[in-house]
Amino acid sequence: MKRNGWVAVVVLAALVAAVPMCRQEPAATPSIEVYFSPRGGCTEAVMRQIDAARSSILVQAYSFTSAPIAKALIEAHRRGVRVEAVLDSSQKSEKYSAADFLAHLGIPTRLDDKHAIAHNKVMIFDGEVVITGSFNFTKSAELSNAENLLVIRDPGLAARYTANWREHAGHSEPYVGRGAAVLADPASDFAPDAVPEPSDSQPAGYLASTNSQVFHRAGCRSVSKIAGKNLTVYATRDEAIAAGKKPCAECKP
Ligand SMILES: [Zn+2]
Ligand SMILES: [Zn+2]
């Protein structure tokens, strides 16, 4: 009886000592997923995180030509998520680029020319989740290349990536976009050969929904109602008309 009493005291003391440690443990454990391309679910993993974001998405990208990812970012921007992008300055010399698409549709976009190449491929979601790896946001990275993508839920790590994102954003140039990117097929990449060289006189492109006969100027309020996956961008007015679209009565493109 006396011996059992001592055992009880020792067990109780051990439990009391263990409680604070147990309480601290869950938050400190990051969760990590990994995906490998080709066709290993990298694009889907990126899209899932974009769709789940509640407050902010910070993008750092070298080559960014994936139409589905660009459209998912537009959708997030439209539901009130603060989306901002810092892209490599090569996006300016590319004939077609996501930089133009994002900038035209209202996402603050900057180009970083302070390095030989700005080679990061990172997105930071809600200050909690970081995706990074070799995976560029392109169709070839998804379909043709050997790449890896990590999805890491770790607020501490996300804070370090956010600080690095801000450092690069701080020395990057704001980009307003030029010409227009063509996103005719949501399943396809941007179509490099279909986009004419931009000129100073060319406006910021014309937009329509795949579900509507009407096309708009980029600034028309009707554009904000078009779902990202249905969004089609025409480089010229003639191109929109050739596709069977009629000018909007309100914005008179
Ligand atoms: Zn930089
Ligand atoms: Zn309109």
Tell me the per-residue pLDDT of 181-207, one tens digit each, with 9 for 90 and over.
444 333 334 443 333 333 333 345 688
Label residue 149 left, alpha or beta by phi (over 0 means left) and psi (-120 to 50 means alpha).
beta
How many C-beta atoms surround the C-beta of residue 157 within 10 A? Answer: 17
Range of the domain at 129: 30-175
Q: Let me know if residue 4 belongs to a domain.
A: no
DSSP bridge pairs for 217: 206
Residues 140 and 34 in one domain: yes
Residues 61 and 136 in one domain: yes
Of 51, 114, 115, 119, the catalytic one is 119
Q: Let me know if residue 17 belongs to a domain.
A: no
Of 71, 121, 139, 245, the catalytic one is 121
**Rounded mean pLDDT, 72-88:** 94
Let me know if 119 is a catalytic residue: yes
Let me know if 92 is a catalytic residue: no
Report how far ligand 1's centroid is from the alpha carbon of 84 (Å): 15
Let me know if 77 is a catalytic residue: no
> Quick one: tokens of 94?
């590319």
Residues 120 and 56 in one domain: yes
The H or E element containing residue 139 is helix 139-143
Predicted pLDDT at 135: 96
Residues 68 and 112 in one domain: yes
Report how far ligand 2's centroid is from the alpha carbon of 246 (Å): 10
Collect all residues with Cβ–Cβ distance below 8 Å to 48 and sequence separation of at least 6.
none
- Whether residue 10 is predicted with pLDDT greater than 70 in this model: the reply is no
Residues 96 and 133 in one domain: yes
Q: Let me know if residue 180 belongs to a domain.
A: no
- Return d(Cα 234, Cα 240) in angstroms, integer: 6
Ligand at minimal distance from the CA of 220 is 2
Ligand at minimal distance from the CA of 114 is 1
Q: Let me know if residue 144 belongs to a domain.
A: yes
CA distances from residue 10 to 6, 15, 19, 159 in whole angstroms, order as listed: 6, 9, 15, 42
Residue with tokens 């501490």: 156
- Verify cis geometry, omega within 30 degrees of 0, for the bond prior to 38: yes
- CATH number reported for the structural domain that contains residue 159 in this entry: 3.30.870.10
Q: Let me know if residue 252 belongs to a domain.
A: no
Q: Let me know if residue 25 belongs to a domain.
A: no
**Rounded mean pLDDT, 117-146:** 95
Domain count, the chain: 2
Q: Let me know if residue 154 belongs to a domain.
A: yes
Report how far ligand 2's centroid is from the alpha carbon of 111 (Å): 29
Question: 32 burial class (0-12, 13-18, 19+ CB within 10 angstroms)?
Answer: exposed
- Whether residue 52 is predicted with pLDDT greater than 80 in this model: the reply is yes
Residues 70 and 162 in one domain: yes
Domain-ending residue, one of 135, 157, 175: 175
Ligand at minimal distance from the CA of 115 is 1
Higher-pLDDT residue of 186, 151? 151
Tell me the per-residue pLDDT of 85-98, one tens digit each, with 9 for 90 and over.
999 998 887 665 77
Predicted pLDDT at 112: 96
Predicted pLDDT at 178: 66
Report how far ligand 1's centroid is from the alpha carbon of 3 (Å): 68
Ligand at minimal distance from the CA of 240 is 2
Report how far ligand 2's centroid is from the alpha carbon of 170 (Å): 35
Say whether 88 sits in a helix, a strand or coil. strand
- Whether residue 64 is predicted with pLDDT greater than 90 in this model: the reply is no
179-208 burial, b for 16+ CB within 10 Å, e for fewer? bbbbbeeeeebbbeeebeebeeeeebbbbb
Report how far ligand 2's centroid is from the alpha carbon of 206 (Å): 9
